[in-house]
A and B are shown apart, each in its own frame.
Chain A
């Protein structure tokens, strides 16, 4: 048993630099494999709808009639299943995290591409 074994660590902490960053002024670069968000190259998309069917959260909706691909970024859990199953490989994983937007601004949270 000992008295005040934390004192050394506490004093060291007091006179050393903080372990945290001054977010959002200082940001850490994402790692090379970080799952940040999903982007689409819509010109390559054939609207097959496999991504929408295999999405665990139903974040992606594809309409063949309206020639429309849309994705609700706040529903997306970035499991990258769509990237894996896409036959044309037009979906891509990006390292930068999705920007947070107010939940009410539904026009901002849904990314839509149309080829009407």
Chain B
């Protein structure tokens, strides 16, 4: 190891929006080993479950992360609902699906922008974020918040979306689809983008399976893993297939996310046509007692929630296994053997959310 150099990467690095540290062991320009270190923004949110009433904890759960906030709150609510055997009304399930898909679109647009920034295409970065702003406006108009929705509660949802609003959502998505089509054309066809992404960080199907990759990372390597196919909330009534690419490189991961944006637009169209009328929530009676596991598909991949309740209004344990945590091992695997200049791309390509991971 005498001829090796160790370069610290992060926690503050231009390409990283969040603190993640690597010790990169290099031989010339090639990475021999990467040692990750997390723990810079641990906030102890899981422990708060012992100090907040179970119905109020959803506000804390939502603040685990600023991008998948709705899915965090919803996953927590679903876990408590399963313990309490609450039958959530159909309309609430459809509205939850709507907000899940809107947040998937805004998360993927954010990622596309950051990825463009990582390979030095700032014009494209801003173009992606301009589209994202339209989605954030829709989210604010329907929920009242831009990134923290605050509409999920144990037993249903707090706000309704009326037919006019659905028409507005569909018309915005219609016009956006054309603009995003132009942008995705750049990602897919531009020669300089392809030069940076094609062949960089190839994760084989076998490695993706063995290292436990989730979400777009796994789907770009040919694994058709999509928790939505389990049919939780309203996904069982909607018609879709997981987006799968087979080449497993950075380019495939970008293409998976681009195709998922269009898939989400299609899902919103389907649910707008099918949404039933009815109640928005059921009132939980008493306190939960028991334990449950819930799996939800976030924009970044599969997240697992574990909740244990002891019959009081304070829960005993709340645990979140986030998709970024599952994707760190495949990312380290990708880094070994790649060049130093590719590291920003590789790190960004898993869409790391460190504040989720550390909670």
Which residues of A are interface residues toward B (Cβ below 8 A)?
1-6, 8-10, 13, 19, 31-35, 54, 56, 77-81, 84, 93
- Asked if B190 contacts A6 (CB within 8 A), the reply is yes
A79 contact set on B, CB distance < 8 A = 59, 150
Q: At the interface, yes or no: B145 with Cβ under 8 Å from chain A?
A: yes
A-binding segment of B136-144, B169-177, B258-266, B339-347: B136-144
Q: Does B285 contact A (CB under 8 A)?
A: no
Asked if A80 and B194 sit within 8 Å, CB to CB, the answer is: no
| Chain B residues, CB < 8 A from A77 | 59, 63, 148
The verdict on A10 contacting B190 (CB below 8 Å), with A19-B130, A19-B133, A81-B56 known, is no
Q: Which listed residue (A6, A19, A33, A56) contacts B144, Cβ 8 A?
A: A33
Most buried by A among B53, B133, B144, B194: B144
Q: Which residues of B contact A84 (CB under 8 A)?
A: 158
- Considering only CB atoms, which chain B residue lies closest to A35 in the complex? B144
The interface residues of chain B lying within 8 Å CB-to-CB of A4 are 190
Closest to B191 in A: A1
Q: Which residue of A lies closest to B133 (CB)?
A: A19
Contacting pair A80 B185 (CB below 8 A): no
Instruction: Please state if A31 and B189 are interface contacts (CB–CB under 8 Å).
Output: no
User: For the complex, what is the distance from the CA of A93 to the CA of B124, rounded to whole Å?
Assistant: 38
Q: Give bound CA distance, A31 to B194, whole Å.
A: 41
User: Are B185 and A5 interface neighbours, CB within 8 A?
Assistant: yes
Contact partners of A2 in chain B: CB under 8 A: 189-191
Contact partner of A33 among B60, B159, B182, B183, CB < 8 A?
A: B159
Contact A33 B123 (CB under 8 A): no
Give A10 to B190 CA distance when docked, in angstroms: 14
Q: How far is the CB of B150 from chain A (nearest CB, A)?
A: 5
Which residues of A are found within 8 Å of B56, using beta-carbon distances? 54, 56, 81
Most buried by A among B53, B159, B186: B186
B121 to chain A, nearest CB (A): 8
Q: Interface code B149-160, partner A: CB below 8 Å = 1, 0 otherwise?
A: 010000000110
The reply to whether A54 and B53 form a contact with Cβ atoms under 8 Å apart is yes
Which of A8, A31, A54, A78 sits near B140, CB closer than 8 Å? A31
